[in-house]
Amino acid sequence: MYTHPEPMTEPAATCDPRTLLGLRVLLTRPAHQARGTVALLQRRGAEAVSFPIIAIEPMLGEASVARAVEELAARCYDVAVFTSDNSVRCFLDAIGFANASVAVFDGVRVAAVGPATAAALHERGVVTDVVAETFIAESLAEAILALNPPPSRVLLPRALVAREILPVTLRRAGVTVDVVPVYRTVPASKERAAELACLLTSIDVVMLTSSSTVEHLCGLLGDDAARLLAGTVLASIGPITTGTAEKHGLSVAVTAEVSTTEGLADALERYVERRR
């Protein structure tokens, strides 16, 4: 097991591709998202252990979602904004559910919070016009407001529960924002808490890939969360997620500079290299 040093945000560096050899890394993200990260970690020598603590439940049949698809097709929006690959997957599935196609985006600018979200859009045939520079909602809001001409109405398909900074910032600037929940997160059963606590005794690193996973991880472990996680290296995908973890009393050892799973793996490699 690795012990905690002082928290750090690592600069870019080049490491041995097998730096993570022998490390057991816990992934808590939904199963469909974990597969790519498992492969990424395995290529770098780590043993990836998947323990999803949330599942994604699409909201395809909601009237608000169907209306959003109709209004998008009718060119009622200037910009469609996506803040995660889950929002992309669930909204694009809703478009298909409504017997429509990606043609509903014709004439509408599309914004993504980061390269992973932009890639998810590209895979579904949607061209991205705006990608946030620092992969957080604040940066995305800034990029949207800098568009010329500026948007007057924005569609934001997202999780049922999410940070409000993006719609609040846009509304303060005079933009009409339609927040349309397209999925909800369903936490793992409380009965799995003992299983997770036992698993943590053999884990070296826990990857924290979103504020939502932190919230649900701590919710599952309860009042013992900080104690049970104290024996592992906590590696966070970015400053927002780190802040959420710290609010729960967790000590984050690594915060990625680039808020992607690959950026997180890079930061973890640099951390391990410095510790050896």
Mean local confidence (pLDDT), 54-65: 92
Check whether 49 has a pLDDT greater than 80.
Answer: yes
β-bridge pairing 54-58 and 47-50: unpaired
Which pLDDT band holds residue 65 (cuts at 50, 70, 90)? very high
Considering the chain, what is the average pLDDT of its residues?
90
Mean local confidence (pLDDT), 138-148: 94
In angstroms, rounded to a whole number, what is the distance separating the alpha carbons of residues 84 and 68? 18
Q: Residue 52 CB: number of other CB atoms within 10 A?
A: 18
pLDDT score, position 118:
94
Nearest to 79 by CA among 157, 168, 165: 157
In angstroms, rounded to a whole number, what is the distance separating the alpha carbons of residues 231 and 217? 15
Check whether 228 has a pLDDT greater than 80.
Answer: yes
Check whether 10 has a pLDDT greater than 70.
Answer: no
pLDDT score, position 16:
53
| Stated length of the chain | 276
Which pLDDT band holds residue 159 (cuts at 50, 70, 90)? very high
pLDDT score, position 136:
83
Is 172 in contact with 145 (CB distance < 8 Å)?
Answer: no
pLDDT score, position 276:
76
Mean local confidence (pLDDT), 58-67: 94
Check whether 222 has a pLDDT greater than 70.
Answer: yes
β-bridge pairing 153-159 and 79-82: parallel
For the chain, the helix, strand and coil percentages under 3-state DSSP, each to the nearest 5: 45, 20, 35
In angstroms, rounded to a whole number, what is the distance separating the alpha carbons of residues 6 and 30? 30
Is 44 in contact with 15 (CB distance < 8 Å)?
Answer: no
Domains and CATH numbers, the chain: 24-53+188-275 (3.40.50.10090), 57-186 (3.40.50.10090)
DSSP bridge pairs for 236: 208, 255
User: What percentage of residues in the chain have a pLDDT greater than 70?
Assistant: 94
Mean local confidence (pLDDT), 81-85: 94
Nearest to 128 by CA among 81, 167, 68: 81
Considering only residues 1 and 254, tell me which one the structure prediction assigns the higher pLDDT: 254
Type and span of the H or E element at 131 = strand 130-131
Mean local confidence (pLDDT), 226-255: 96
pLDDT score, position 258:
87
User: Which amino acid is it at 23?
Assistant: L
Distances (CA, A) of 214 to 152, 211, 248: 34, 5, 9
In angstroms, rounded to a whole number, what is the distance separating the alpha carbons of residues 122 and 56? 21
pLDDT score, position 15:
47
Mean local confidence (pLDDT), 150-163: 94
With 0-12 / 13-18 / 19 or more C-beta atoms within 10 angstroms meaning exposed / middle / buried, residue 50 is middle
Which pLDDT band holds residue 205 (cuts at 50, 70, 90)? very high
Q: What is the pLDDT of residues 165-195, one digit of tens each?
A: 999 999 999 999 999 999 998 888 989 999 9
pLDDT score, position 29:
86
Peptide bond before residue 149 is cis, with ω within 30 degrees of 0? yes
Q: In what order do the strands lie in the sheet with 176-187?
A: 54-58, 176-187, 153-159, 79-82, 109-112, 130-131
With 0-12 / 13-18 / 19 or more C-beta atoms within 10 angstroms meaning exposed / middle / buried, residue 130 is middle
Q: What is the pLDDT of residues 88-116, one digit of tens each?
A: 999 999 999 999 999 999 999 999 998 88
